[in-house]
Amino acid sequence: MSDNKRRIDFLQIIIEIGVITIGILIAYQLNSWNENRKLKASERSILKEIRSNLELDLIDINSNLSGHENALRSIDSLQKIASGNEFDSRIPIYLFDSCRDFLFLPQTSAFETLKAKGVNLITDDSLRIRILRVYDFSYTLLIQLERDYLAGQFNDDFQEIVGSYFLSYDITNPESIQPRYKNPSWLNNSDVKTKLDLIKNERRFYRRAYAGVQKEVEDLIKDLDRSFE
């Protein structure tokens, strides 16, 4: 009887250990599943915020791109009327549009949150790389160009032209604008002609840069939409 009792006691101990072990494993699996679920929810939430930020960035990008294209059209208009004999009332507006500076101000709050939590939160390697490229390379390069690339900052050229060829100039009050010369041939003066040619070349450069970033952002938005399916 004692041998049977010992076997029963041993079997009970084995069963208890097995039950405890299974319980621990189940608890671990449940905890792991719950943590993964939380991480997935956090990943999805941040990706949605990034997409929302990108939509706002795209509005800014499209607006600035349109501004550069409008500036190119204005320069073309100035160059076409340069040989005219009468002052064209649109010249001051064309000059203003030709020399406007634009700044790209991206929305980075969601990306900063992602970096704080760790970029590896994004489980899709390809998507993570695309996000990092847009924010850490393309956006940074565009911002640096506009901030530090002096050849692409046109307001000084505008002020110089206006100071030399206008008695008064107030874009908010067109009636107050007074040109020094009624004949627009001054647009062919070497200083003005050279500045307009240089501005045109720089505008084309910025147009290409913006168009490239525009496509990257549009493609990334499509990738994000696919990740939500």
Cα separation, 57 vs 115, in Å, equals 19
Asked if the structure places residue 161 within a domain, the reply is yes
Q: What is the DSSP string of 113-135?
A: HHHHH-GGG---HHHHHHHHIII
Structure tokens at 134: 């847009």
Is 208 inside a domain boundary?
yes
Evaluate whether residue 16 is within a structural domain. Answer: no
d(CA 204, CA 118): 38
In a domain, 91, yes or no: yes
Kindly state the average pLDDT of the residues 65-84.
Answer: 93
Residue 22 has a pLDDT of 78
* Cβ neighbour number for residue 15 with a 10 Å cutoff: 10
Quickly state the pLDDT bin for 160 (edges 50, 70, 90): very high
- Position 7 pLDDT exceeds 70: no
Distance set, CA 28 to CA 14, 168, 174 (Å):
21, 78, 74
Residue 173's pLDDT is what? Answer: 87
**Contact indicator for 99, 199 with CB cutoff of 8 Å:** yes
- Which helix H or strand E contains 59, and what residues bound it? helix 2-81
Residue 22 lies in a domain: no
Q: Can you give the pLDDT at residue 88?
A: 87
10 vs 154: which has the higher pLDDT:
154
Domain range enclosing 210 = 49-227
Q: What is the pLDDT of residue 35?
A: 67
The average pLDDT across 7-26 equals 72
Residue 86 lies in a domain: yes
Q: Does the structure show a pLDDT above 60 at 1? A: no
Q: Under 8 Å CB-to-CB from 77, ≥6 apart: which residues?
A: 90, 94
pLDDT of the residue at 4? 64
- pLDDT at position 2 is 60
**143 found inside a domain:** yes
How do 178-179 and 166-168 pair as beta strands?
antiparallel
Give the pLDDT of residue 34. Answer: 66
pLDDT digits (tens, 9 = 90+) for 118-128: 999 999 999 99
DSSP bridge partners of 179 = 166
Give the global pTM: 0.81
Mean pLDDT, to the nearest integer, of 78-106? 90
Give dist(CA 65, CA 212) in Å, integer: 11
* Total tally of structural domains belonging to the chain: 1
Nearest-CA neighbor of 210 among 60, 71, 98, 50? Answer: 60
Instruction: Look over the chain and give the mean of its residue pLDDT values, rounded to a whole number.
Output: 88
Q: Above 70 in pLDDT, residue 151?
A: no
Q: Check whether 153 has a pLDDT greater than 90.
A: no
Is residue 177 situated within a structural domain? yes
DSSP letter string, 121-182: G---HHHHHHHHIIIIIIIHHHHHHHHH-GGG--HHHHHHHHHHHEEE--TT-GGG-EES-S
Closest CA to 183 of 81, 96, 99: 81
